[in-house]
Amino acid sequence: MAVTVMTAKEITNMALNKENLFILDVRNESDFNDWKIEGENFTYFNKPYFELLDGIAPIKDQLPVDKEVLVVCAKEGSSQMVAEFLDEAGISSSYLEGGMKSWSEFLHKTKVYEDQDISVFQFVRVGKGCLSYMVVSKGEALIVDPSRFIDEYEVAAQEEGAKITHIVDSHLHADHISGGNALAKKVGAAYYLMRSEGATFDFLPLEEHENIEFNNISVEVLAVKTPGHTPGSVSFFVNKKILFSGDTIFVSGLGRPDLGNKVREWAKDLYNTVYSKVAEIADDVIVLPAHYASLDEEINDTGYIGATLGCIRLRNEKIFNTTEQDFLEQVEKSASSVKPPNFEDIIAINKGIEVANSDRMQELEIGPNRCAVHHAD
């Protein structure tokens, strides 16, 4: 036997295919409990690497002998060491290339929708619960809520024979660093953001662009104050068929309204959004959010995270069919006291107030997504 290397892409495919995997996570217990690789049929065992410096004898009886063990650590080194110990003990093993850093940064691309006018692709950042998108029409591409890994979008556009000409952010993100401004500068695209978000760099304010049209793409900006991380959140309604809902509507609920410390006020805004703007949208419109809470729960049978608005209404009947008072009480009760890690620093970078190198951005983003949803249940 020999120790093998497993990539974040391979693990993502295993999760999507609901395959079995035994993971030995050798990070600290607190880090493991806070954030780990998730898969419906994944089995976990946590033991800090520093307790295994003399070998795996203390845990050998707790490891499977009939299947491979994937060892995971923060950056790779410790997991490689432990995997070699396993190999010496006769246990088939592998380790995650790049550790949890690589898991946090990997983007999984999948096609969501296609008709005679547009093709829509989703980029799933599996380790963070973040979603971004590309809409292609006649050689031009629109990027929605891009992550900081801007090369991924350039490559994806080239694969489709398209040039990135338009970029939009639904809001100023609090859990990850946007690639919108950097991508726009690199490829010479028009970049749109709400002026009310307070960004200090050049962009086209969505307040002055309620509709964005090019080729066979028509983007209607639903510019309403919606709760989430900032008061300037918007949704993008494309060709009356696709709703890029940002952090307003999720497959399993609605955006959390507590990050701005205005739970009651923003919950009222959310109620008005759901019962006015959203109420006018047809059931067959496909909703594509900017985040998700659980890959197992929210990925659909066709392999992407999203659902028709009708399905979301049925799944979350308690919040889509209730009185305003009950709605406010339910949202307030669900508001979490645990805010996204480093969200103030991340917002400052996304505003252009602070500058960070790649190491600093990586450090700020490490950890789970805590921006996702208010669950109906």
Ordered by start, the domain boundaries in the chain are 4-102, 107-358+369-375
**For residues 73-109, b (16+ Cβ closer than 10 Å) or e, as one string?**
bbebebbbbbbbbbbeeebbbbbbbbbbbbbbbbbbe
Question: Please, which pLDDT band fits residue 305 given cuts at 50, 70 and 90?
Answer: very high
pLDDT at 273: 78
pLDDT at 223: 62
pLDDT at 86 over 80: yes
Across residues 56-85, what is the average pLDDT? 95
DSSP secondary structure letter of residue 75: S
Contact 283, 273 (CB under 8 A): no
Contact 150, 179 (CB under 8 A): yes
Dump strand ranges (E) for 189-231.
190-193, 204-205, 211-214, 217-222
pLDDT at 377: 42
Contact 55, 81 (CB under 8 A): no
**For residues 208-234, b (16+ Cβ closer than 10 Å) or e, as one string?**
eeeebeebebbbbbbbbbbbbbbbbbb
Q: Mean pLDDT across the chain, nearest whole number?
A: 89
| CATH (one of 3.30.497.10, 3.40.250.10, 3.40.50.20, 3.90.1150.140) for 4-102 | 3.40.250.10
Q: What 3-state class would DSSP assign to 43?
A: strand
Give 21-43 pLDDT, tens digit per residue.
999 999 999 999 989 999 999 99
The catalytic residue positions are: 73
pLDDT at 374 over 50: no
CATH topology of domain 107-358+369-375: Metallo-beta-lactamase; Chain A (3.60.15)
Which residue did the predictor score with more confidence, 128 or 156?
156
Of all helices (H) and strands (E), which one includes residue 24? strand 21-25
Question: Please, which pLDDT band fits residue 329 given cuts at 50, 70 and 90?
Answer: confident
**Phi, psi (5° rounding) for residue 163?**
-110, 135
Alpha carbon distance 247, 38 (integer Å) = 22
Which residue did the predictor score with more confidence, 215 or 329?
215
User: Which of 97, 86, 99 is CA-nearest to residue 2?
Assistant: 86
Question: Please, which pLDDT band fits residue 296 given cuts at 50, 70 and 90?
Answer: confident
Q: Residues of the chain with pLDDT > 70: what percent?
A: 90
pLDDT at 230: 57
Q: Residues of the chain with pLDDT > 90: what percent?
A: 64
Contact 102, 364 (CB under 8 A): no
Contact 82, 255 (CB under 8 A): no
pLDDT at 261 over 80: no
Which residue did the predictor score with more confidence, 203 or 373?
203
pLDDT at 375: 44
CA atoms within 13 A on the CB side of 118: 23
Across residues 204-213, what is the average pLDDT? 93
